[in-house]
Amino acid sequence: MSGCREPVSWEALVDYWSRDLPAAEQEAIENHLFGCAACSAASAGVAAITEALRSEIPPLLTREALAVLRAGGLRIVENRMAPGERKQVPFPATADLLLHRLGGLDLSRASRVRFTLRVEGSDQPIVEIDDAPFDRESGAVLLACQHHFDVFPPDTVAEVRARDDSGAETVAEYTILHQYAG
């Protein structure tokens, strides 16, 4: 970086914005950024990327993540579904998030849950998560749909595969027919 005798590396800036550094290193980089325009400019670029990623909502939520989103004021519409159900689900323009509560499973002994979302009538996955978060207590997987998902076909099938420690597997499918409001 021009004009800087000891530029902060891109990797160090990523660690800084990811908050993956020991406190002393974090503070040293912060002090350097306050006094170095070149490194501060580079840091702004890294910050834009890391902060955008941090604000993304993942497709599957934990109960705790859902509580944080609610506390942050997100307008959330819930859709409860049972295994084998096929349902048309409106996504109102006034909602920020459409939460599908894919329930009806006994997840009390589940050691691992695999989640797949695909277009109905296709084997091609849109989303695959091998070690999916799930709500053991309520027996549900929390699927979070956002308005920008309207680029996907509206007819989707969510598959939940729960495996317990003995290797026994339970599979449930939920057919979600999204109706996005303009």
Q: What's 113's domain CATH number?
A: 2.60.40
User: Does 119 lie in the same domain as 31?
Assistant: no
In a domain, 2, yes or no: no
Query: Do the domain assignments include residue 66?
Result: yes
Look at residue 109 and tell me if it is in a domain: yes
- Domain carrying residue 15: 10-55
Which pLDDT tens digit goes with each residue over 157-182? Answer: 999 999 998 889 999 999 999 887 75
Domain count, the chain: 2
In a domain, 5, yes or no: no
Are 37 and 68 part of one and the same domain? no
106-144 residue pLDDT tens: 898 999 999 999 999 888 899 999 999 999 889 999 999
How far is it, in rounded angstroms, from Cα 165 to Cα 1? Answer: 53
Q: Does 1 map to a domain?
A: no
Q: What is the pTM of this model?
A: 0.72
Shared domain for 19 and 91, answered yes or no, is no
CA angle 145, 56, 137 (to 5 degrees): 60
Q: Same structural domain for residues 137 and 64?
A: yes
- Place 90 in a pLDDT band, splitting at 50, 70 and 90: very high
